[in-house]
Structure 1
Amino acid sequence: MLKGFRDFISRGNVVDLAVAVVIGAAFTLVINAIVNGFVNPLIAAIFGEPDLTQVASFEINGAQFSIGLILDALFNFLCVAAAIYFFIVIPINKLRERKAQEPESEEEAVPAEEILLLREIRDELRNRV
Structure 2
Amino acid sequence: MFKGFKDFLMRGNVVDLAVAVVVGAAFTAVVTAFTEAFLEPLIRLVSGGGELGGTFVVNGIEFNWAMFVNALITFLITAAVVYFLVVLPLKTVQERRKRGEEDGPADPTEVELLIEIRDLLREGRREEAAGKHAAGGPAD
**Corresponding residue pairs, total:** 104
Where does structure 1 differ by over 6 angstroms across 4 or more consecutive aligned residues?
A: none
Deviations 1:29-71 (A, max 9, x none): 22223323333333322112369x951332535x443233222
Q: Give the aligned residue type for 2:74.
A: N
Question: Which residue number corresponds to residue 36 of structure 2?
Answer: 36
1:91-102 pair list within 5 angstroms = 91-100=89-98, 101-102=100-101
- Report if aligned partners of 2:32, 2:74 keep a CA contact under 8 Å in 1: yes
Task: Tell me which residue corresponds to 2:18.
Answer: 18
Separation in structure 1 between the aligned mates of residue 50 and residue 23 of structure 2, nearest angstrom: 31
Q: 1:46 to 1:13 in 2, by over 3 A?
A: same
TM-score, normalised relative to structure 1: 0.60
CA distance in 1, matches of 2:42, 2:56: 18
Give the RMSD, CA atoms, in angstroms: 3.1
Give the share of equivalent positions with the same residue, in percent.
Answer: 42
Aligned 8 A contact 1:57 1:68 in 2: no
Structure 1: state its 5+ residue gaps: 109-129
1:61-88 Cα shifts (integer Å, max 9, x gaps): 5x44323322222222122112221233
Change (3 A) 1:57 1:103: closer
Give the distance between the partners of 1:27 and 1:90, measured in 2 at CA: 18
Larger deviation, residues 67-76 vs 19-28: 67-76
Structure with greater proportional helix content: 1
Structure 2 unaligned spans of 5+: 108-140
Aligned to 2:63, what secondary structure does the other structure show? Answer: strand
- Sort the Cα spacing of 1:86 and 1:49 in 2 relative to 1 into closer, same or farther, 3 A: farther
Task: Give the 3 Å change call, closer, same or farther, for CA 59–76 of structure 1 in structure 2.
Answer: same
Q: Distance in 2 between matches of 1:56 and 1:103?
A: 53
What is aligned with 1:70? 68
Aligned to 1:7: 7
What amino acid is the match of 1:71?
A: V
